[in-house]
Structure 1
Amino acid sequence: MDERIREHARTLVDWSARVERGDDIVVSVDEGAHDLAVAVCAELGERGASVVTTYSSAELDRAYLRAHDGDFVASDAELALYERADVVLRLGGPRNTTATADVAGDRQAAYARVHQPAREARLDTRWVSTVHPTRALAQQAGMSFEAYRDFVYGAVLRDWEALAAEMAQLKELLDAGREVRLVTERDARPDTDLIMSIEGRVAVNSAASVAYDSHNLPSGEVFTAPFDTEGEVFFDVPMTLQGQRVRNVWLSFEEGAVVDFSAETGEDVLADVLDTDEGARRLGELGVGMNRGIDRFTDNVLFDEKMGDTVHLALGRAYHSNFREGDEDQANDSAVHMDMITDVSERSRIEVDGDVVQRDGRFRWEPEFEAA
């Protein structure tokens, strides 16, 4: 076994999930993540945790959703499993990244709504999602398998404490701020000029550990929960949603909600997501990528949204970690959380209360930052 797989497992168990003896742990294993699962279970055994493993597969989901009559009923067993768990580890590694492409979007949305209580129970645990490199993911990224493995471990096996210290500077600015403005200029494409309120919110220093209210490995972003969104935004980073390609998404916001939208490809998918529920038309997240170990787009949101020189916005559910204790009921509620990404490496800026904190992908504490 590649020693990097064992190091990945140790990072996941110790740094990310902070596993302790006696923890009840659910390990969800995707089709291609077997080797990582073996390494993770060995680490969990050494630490005296209790483990239940489940099998995850988009091909199984496709078979079930296409055969079902559409009158979905929530699973009490799934809900009970997550309600009793201390930790949930999601080990991604698909064999086919577009396995559900021929499942109707409204059916996928209905299934997501029914499973929302189980999803909420999972999110109440010390959950962490990560990914094991597979040939399908390498192909989706347009890379050889060997190069893709190097890319994944370059993003995952970081000095997370050092990155956490750097990202704390942006968290401090957002915590003290009232308003964020995102501006990008694009030739022959729509510009972005979006204003979002953040007053009273708590930004998360997402350093790949539950100790930082961070639940992805790799991570490397600072995110908050915006509201009262006004303006327009253009997302120029392609993505795969519900198994289908979506490219060049434009959204227009008024009084906090999407009032108009378009996409060069995948517009029907976007429409289905927006129609999921009322909360799907409002933002649940504003995230700023800061992991410079991720140096290219790979059509995998787990990596792409953490990349330095990017900003992502998510339609739908907001995370309770972005709210002060007692204010969680202010969080945008939805059965979806759909991240979309824009490149801010050129002709772009982020302002907090009128002060530019990032220009062309560089933060004001970095030597490359150029003030106006």
Structure 2
Amino acid sequence: MDSRYHSLAKNLVTHSTELKKGEKTLIHAFDVPEDMTLALVRAVRDRGAIPFVQLENSRIGRESILGGIEEQFETTLAWEMERMKAMDAYIALRGSLNVFENSDLPQENMKKALRILKPVLDWRVKKTKWCVLRWPTPSMAQQAKMSTEAFRDFFFDACCMDYSRMVPGMSALEKRMREADEVKIKGPGTDLAFSLKGIEAVACGGTHNIPDGEVFSC
């Protein structure tokens, strides 16, 4: 097993979710290597927490939405919500062999599925300790115009770092953005100015998304 899987899993259960003994943790894995899911199960147990695993496949997920009817989504909502309410934490590992897998799904089908299942998402975000990770795939490397190996190395360098070291700098930038009235960006062929007055700033240091490290305005 790639040793970086263990480092990444440790980051997810410590810095990102701070799992405690006895906490029920749902591991939601989409098209990721079996070894990574195994590493995360073991990391959850090392914290004394209790792992539960759901494996998904993007092609099967697409087919479920493509032919899905109201009753299917409503029934899914019922048992998904019951399970989510039993969880203390949620960690998603999201990969995709084809980033455009759902590109030809009818918009109405997507909207219906998202609308009906939204209560599960809302509960998870508001009531659990959660973190979502994007897994590096050949299709993502292709979009970045990188080799698969180089892209994976780039990914693990970003995801296995000590995110706590970023907090002081991010906090300072967050404070500066909250206090700023206007931002100006100048460079060759670039001359932009926009207002930040009255707009909130949020620092993201790897607690909910991996990779991370942004300070955004909202």
Give the TM interval when normalised to the shorter protein.
0.7 to 0.9
| 1:33–1:131 contact (8 Å) kept in structure 2 | no
Q: Report what 2:206 is aligned to.
A: 208
Instruction: Summarize the alignment of residues 153-172 of structure 1 with structure 2, pairs less than 5 Å apart.
Output: 153-172=156-175
Deviations 1:78-136 (A, max 9, x none): 11222221110001122221111110223212221222111101112111011333333
The equivalent residue for 1:10 is 10
Q: Which runs of 5+ in 1 are unaligned?
A: 210-214, 226-372
Tell me if 1:86 matches 2:67: no
Distance 1:16 1:82 in 2: 19
Distance 1:142 1:27 in 2: 30
Aligned to 1:221: 214
How has the CA–CA distance of structure 1 residues 180 and 18 changed in structure 2, closer, same or farther, with 3 Å as cutoff? farther
The offset of 1:180, in angstroms, is: 4.9
Gap change, CA 1:70 and 1:7, over 3 Å in 2:
same
Q: Which amino acid aligns with 1:144?
A: S
Distance 1:140 1:35 in 2: 25
What residue in structure 1 maps to residue 34 of structure 2? 34
Q: Is the 8 A contact 2:62 2:102 kept in 1?
A: yes
For residues 82 and 29 of structure 1, what CA distance do their matches in structure 2 show? 15
Identity within the alignment, %: 25
Native 8 Å contact 1:66 1:103 kept in 2:
yes
Matched residues in 2 for 1:113 and 1:61: separation?
Answer: 16
* Contact 2:68–2:109 (Cα < 8 Å) also in 1: no
- 1:8-66: per-residue Cα shift (whole Å, max 9, x none)? 11111111111111111000011124221111111111222111111233212210121
Check the 8 A contact 2:174/2:203 in 1, yes or no.
Answer: yes
Q: Which amino acid aligns with 2:93?
A: L
Q: Aligned pair in 2 of structure 1 residues 123, 33: CA closer, same or farther (>3 Å)?
A: farther
Structure 2 residue runs of 5 or longer lacking an equivalent are none
Q: 1:194 to 1:84 in 2, by over 3 A?
A: farther
Normalised to the residue count of structure 2, the TM-score between the two structures is 0.86
Alignment match, 1:105? 107
Q: Does 1:46 align with 2:39?
A: no
AA aligned to 1:154 is D
The higher-RCO structure (CA 8 Å, 6+ apart) is 2
Evaluate the alpha carbon distance shift between residue 185 and residue 62 of structure 1 in structure 2; reply closer, same or farther with a 3 A threshold. farther
Contact 1:20 1:49 in 2 (8 A): yes
- SS of 1:25 mapped into structure 2: strand
Whether the 8 Å contact between 2:205 and 2:212 is mirrored in structure 1 is: yes
More strand by share: 1
The count of aligned residue pairs is 215
Does the residue aligned with 1:110 lie in a helix, a strand or coil? helix
1:253-332 aligned within 5 A: none
The residue aligned with 1:175 is: 178
| Alpha-carbon distance change, 193 to 56 in structure 1, aligned in 2, over 3 angstroms | farther
Cα RMSD of the aligned pairs, angstroms, is 2.5
Aligned to 1:314: none
Structure-2 residue corresponding to 1:268: none
CA distance in 2, matches of 1:87, 1:96: 28
- Between the aligned partners of 1:62 and 1:197, the Cα distance in structure 2 is 42
1:185–1:192: 8 Å Cα contact kept in structure 2? Answer: no
SS in 2 for 1:98: coil
Give the alignment's TM-score, normalised by structure 1.
0.53
**Amino acid corresponding to residue 140 of structure 1 in structure 2:** Q
